[in-house]
Structure 1
Amino acid sequence: MKTLLKISGVLLLFLTMTSCFFDGVKGNRNVVTEQRKISSDFDAIDVSQGIDVYLTIGHKVSLSLEADENLHDIIITEVKDGTLHIYAEKNIWSAKRRRVYVTALSINEVTASSGANVKSENTIKAEDFEVRATSGSDVDLLLKVENLTCKTTSGADAKLKGRATNFTAKSTSGGSIKAKGLEANNCNAKATSGADIYISVDNELTAEATSGGDIHYYGDPKVKHNNVSSSGSIRSN
């Protein structure tokens, strides 16, 4: 069942990308770099359509685009309502490179979808931080936060390292959260529909696994609530 759900998630992404081929743009493989001016008034990032984002926390906001020359005009980087949106206004079905390097003053939310990738280059510090990854996207973050929420679905993966006082982890539909390298004091984890969650917990764990979802936990936490049904599993490692 779990394998079928994971395959279904990958197939969904494949069909989405395949549909883009018919009206997509092909990169000319001549990679150029462009420095872009953006507003500093953002604390969230939303990335989609297979674009790779490398995120650094620093003292001065900056953004550079490294991509095939003919793709620059269709890759949009804009700030709206406190969120930096990075996407392509036309479908890209082939490119040598489509990377965006962002330096932000602070970030408290990252959203990735449709095969996008987000990787932090240094530690992100925040009081409250939220990660959302869907549709085959990948997120790789180093964090030091008080309250962390991570949600993955449809074959998306989130790899988290660092430290969180309170961690809420939810994954479904073949998604995964790989947070063995994230030390959490307390964690509330829920895995459903073939999803996998790997967590390290020091103090208290509330866990629920259903419909082929698996939760693997490390450390010796007090398990406050352990709900397993429909071929789900919760395992101490």
Structure 2
Amino acid sequence: MKTKTLLTIILAAMAIVSASAQNRIVKQNRQVAEFTAIDASSGWDVIIRQGNRQSVSIEVSEELLDRAVVEVKNGTLHIYNENRNRSFSFRNMRNTTQKAYVTVTNLQKIEASGGVDIRFETPLKTGDLEVNLSGGTDLENLILDCNRFNGQFSGGCDAGITFSGAKEVKADISGGSDVKLREISARMTWISASGGCDIELTGKTDSLTLDASGGCDVSASGLEAQDCTAAFSGAADGGLFVTHRLDIRVSGAADVTCKGNPRDISKSVSKSSSLTMR
């Protein structure tokens, strides 16, 4: 009985020490080479702002400090945790802190996976921007002014982007992701959606090309398009806003509504699907 009691006390003390270590936050500035891309993983919170001078700092729980890797390779800032101890499990990180504060002068690519949260504190102005998110990554508060945008979202990502300028917008969205692309003002917009995604599009575009399948819900009735080529299949639902030319194929129990009174319509609608013009 005494042995069990002693063991319980020891385990409780170890838990307190572990919790205390997790609650001790270490702040560091990291000196890194010049970069134009960010690649983050391992559940980090990445807070980005644009400024005149590049900088990187981190806030991490003390027990994670020796595993935190912040380095630049080939112009890409990598942020991740290195598991140097086989007995350590990243499953026990719910009470830990790992934040990276990144100031960029020029950002051309963002890549993130593994539960990363990315938040912008300032608008971003750049030439072309490529975004590749997967594995439950969140992207918040990005107000973007760019020439061309190319985004890939998969594996249950949540992303919200507001455009203050973009000539071309392209997005490939899959795997149950929830993506909002707002205030688009582009010559051309391409959207590919599959695998149960929820998508919201607003703004204006000269040309919209849209392919939706696999139970997706595409709300594009807030995106005014002069010309639209669209295909809905596999129980996908959607709303469109087209003012001039509409070329649309609807099949596989898909339901689509379209407003805007386009003058030139080419359509193919299967028996199990519906297209409603409003």
Gaps of 5+ in 2: 1-17, 84-88, 242-278
Structure 1 residue aligned with 2:169: 167
Deviation per CA, 1:209-233: give whole Å up to 9, x if none: 1111222111321242110111112
Instruction: Give the alignment partner of residue 223 of structure 2, picking from 219, 223, 226.
Output: 219
Residues in 1 aligned to 2:191 and 2:53: alpha-carbon distance in whole angstroms: 36
Instruction: Report the Cα offset of residue 30 of structure 1.
Output: 0.8
Structure 1 residue runs of 5 or longer lacking an equivalent are: 1-24
| Aligned residue in 1 for 2:24 | 30
Equivalences for residues 66-81 of structure 1 within 5 A: 66-81=59-74
Equivalences for residues 32-111 of structure 1 within 5 A: 32-40=26-34, 42-90=35-83, 92=90, 93-94=92-93, 95-111=95-111
Which is worse superposed, 90-99 or 64-73? 90-99
The correspondence of residues 78-227 of structure 1 with structure 2, limited to 5 A, is: 78-90=71-83, 92=90, 93-94=92-93, 95-140=95-140, 141-162=142-163, 163-202=165-204, 203-217=206-220, 218-227=222-231
Q: Is the 8 A contact 2:184 2:223 kept in 1?
A: no
Amino acid in the other structure paired with 1:28: Q
The AA in structure 2 aligned to 1:32 is V
Q: What TM-score, normalized by structure 2, do the two folds share?
A: 0.72
- Rounded Cα–Cα distance in structure 1 between residues aligned with 2:167 and 2:76: 25
* Whole-angstrom distance in 2 between the partners of 1:134 and 1:182: 23
Kindly state the Cα deviation for residue 194 of structure 1 after the two structures are TM-superposed.
0.4
Shift of 1:48: 0.4
Deviation at 1:64, TM superposition (A): 0.7
In 1: Cα distance, 2:57 partner to 2:178 partner: 30
Shift of 1:206: 0.9
Percent identity over the alignment is 28
Q: State the distance in 1 between where 2:211 and 2:223 align.
A: 17
1:34–1:66 contact (8 Å) kept in structure 2: yes
- Bigger Cα Rg: 2
1:105-161 deviations in Å (ceiling 9; x for gaps)? 110100110000111211211221111110101112221011001111110122111
Partner of 2:63, secondary structure, is helix
Q: Output the CA distance in 1 between the equivalents of 2:70 and 2:201.
A: 34
Deviation readout 1:138-190 (Å, 9 max, x if unpaired): 11222101100111111012211123221001101101221124444431111
2:22 aligned counterpart, secondary structure? coil
Letter of the structure 2 residue corresponding to residue 164 of structure 1 = A
| Cα deviation code 1:40-78 (max 9, x no counterpart) | 2x1000000100000111111111111111211111000
Tell me the amino acid that sits aligned with residue 39 of structure 1: A
- How far, CA to CA, are the matches of 2:104 and 2:145 in structure 1? 16
Amino acid corresponding to residue 29 of structure 2 in structure 1? Q
Q: 1:223 to 1:208 in 2, by over 3 A?
A: farther
The letter of the residue matching 2:101 is: Y
Aligned letter for 2:22? Answer: N
Misfit runs of 4+, over 4 Å:
none
Q: Is the 8 A contact 2:183 2:203 kept in 1?
A: no
Number of aligned positions between the proteins? 212
- Write the deviation string for residues 64-111 of structure 1: whole angstroms up to 9, x where unpaired: 111111211111000001110000002533233110001121101001
